């Protein structure tokens, strides 16, 4: 063997991997690409489903309906997070789960808030409550149409503004017009004037921050100017009220007229302020 040839061709370093035209780069790119494949896809935003709930306030069992929430899909269409069927199923489940704590005959005060309800929907709630012997007594709402639906269903109503109203700086709501007979046990509240085309039976109660006009017989309780407006009036075709209230003044009708003659109850400005009843033809503010 030629020693000079051995020296001029030194042995290769066996510990060094020869450059194979970018093989290391290829392996690195493969690893990076593999990492991309195993990364989890971004999760869809979590949507909380509104819940119907019972809550006792001032010894009254309140049924609170959740607000309606609309979602927009990727195709531009919209839908609510809780359908009416879903809400009724929730109510049935709540009642079943709390059956041991609910007493038959308990009055339920529905807090509808800004949710729009028709008569059929109110009847749906009434029927589910009745399965446990609960009685839907009244509906509190911001919506005029919901208030009308509740009264039509024979329930007491409290239609209030969304925020507390200061009568000195805030206007009243538009008048609430109802065509019906207000039966005993029904109470109607409104932040404004109330006009009823029908009778108010004994045991019925009308409360308004403005005027009260009854195009029929008034035999129940009427409270006008409920937030302190002593200039409010109560008018009826036949005044035979159990009690009349204007602001903080209270009166009773001792001797009602026997004929249908429109009369107006108002606070007299002469002498000591008291509630007076005057024929409509003779009344002037």
> Would you kindly state where each structural domain of the chain is located, as residue ranges?
49-159, 164-285
Q: What percent of the chain has pLDDT over 90?
A: 55
Of 10-14, 128-132, 238-242, 260-264, the range with the highest mean pLDDT is 128-132
How many CB atoms sit inside 10 A of residue 257's CB?
13
Alpha carbon distance 203, 222 (integer Å): 11
Query: To 10 degrees, the CA torsion angle through 235, 239, 244, 250?
Result: 110
How many alpha carbons fall within 13 Å on the CB side of residue 251?
A: 23
Residue 278 neighbours by CB under 8 Å, 6+ apart: 263, 264, 266
Architecture of domain 49-159: 2-Layer Sandwich (3.30)
Assessment of whether the complete model's pTM goes beyond 0.85? no
Q: What is the pLDDT of residue 82?
A: 80
- Considering the chain, what is the average pLDDT of its residues? 81
CATH code assigned to 164-285: 2.160.20.70
User: Contact at 8 Å (CB) between 128 and 111?
Assistant: no
Give the C-alpha separation, 257 to 266, whole Å: 17
pLDDT band at residue 23 using 50, 70 and 90 as cut-offs = low
């Amino acid at each position: 063997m030629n020693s000079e040839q051995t020296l001029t061709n030194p042995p290769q370093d066996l510990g060094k991997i020869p450059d194979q035209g970018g093989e290391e780069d290829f392996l690195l790119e493969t690893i990076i690409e593999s990492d991309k494949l195993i990364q989890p896809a971004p999760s869809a935003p979590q949507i909380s489903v509104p819940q119907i709930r019972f809550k006792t306030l001032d010894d009254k069992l309140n049924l609170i309906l959740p607000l309606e929430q609309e979602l927009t899909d990727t195709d531009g269409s919209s839908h609510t997070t809780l359908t009416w069927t879903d809400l009724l199923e929730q109510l049935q489940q709540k009642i079943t789960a709390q059956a041991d704590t609910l007493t038959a005959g308990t009055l339920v005060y529905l807090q509808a808030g800004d949710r729009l309800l028709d008569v059929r929907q109110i009847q749906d709630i009434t029927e589910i409550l009745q399965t446990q012997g609960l009685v839907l007594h009244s509906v509190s709402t911001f919506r005029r149409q919901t208030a009308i639906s509740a009264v039509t269903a024979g329930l007491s109503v409290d239609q209030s503004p969304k925020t507390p109203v200061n009568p000195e700086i805030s206007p009243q709501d538009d008048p609430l017009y109802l065509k019906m007979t207000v039966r005993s046990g029904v109470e109607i509240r409104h932040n404004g004037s109330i006009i009823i085309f029908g009778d108010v039976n004994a045991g019925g109660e009308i409360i308004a921050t403005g005027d009260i006009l009854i195009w029929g017989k008034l035999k129940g309780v009427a409270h006008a100017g409920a937030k302190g407006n002593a200039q409010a009036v109560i008018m009826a075709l036949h005044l035979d009220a159990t009690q009349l209230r204007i602001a903080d003044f209270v009166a009773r009708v001792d001797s009602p007229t026997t004929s249908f003659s429109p009369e107006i109850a108002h606070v007299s400005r002469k002498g000591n302020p008291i509630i007076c009843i005057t024929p409509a033809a003779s009344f002037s503010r």
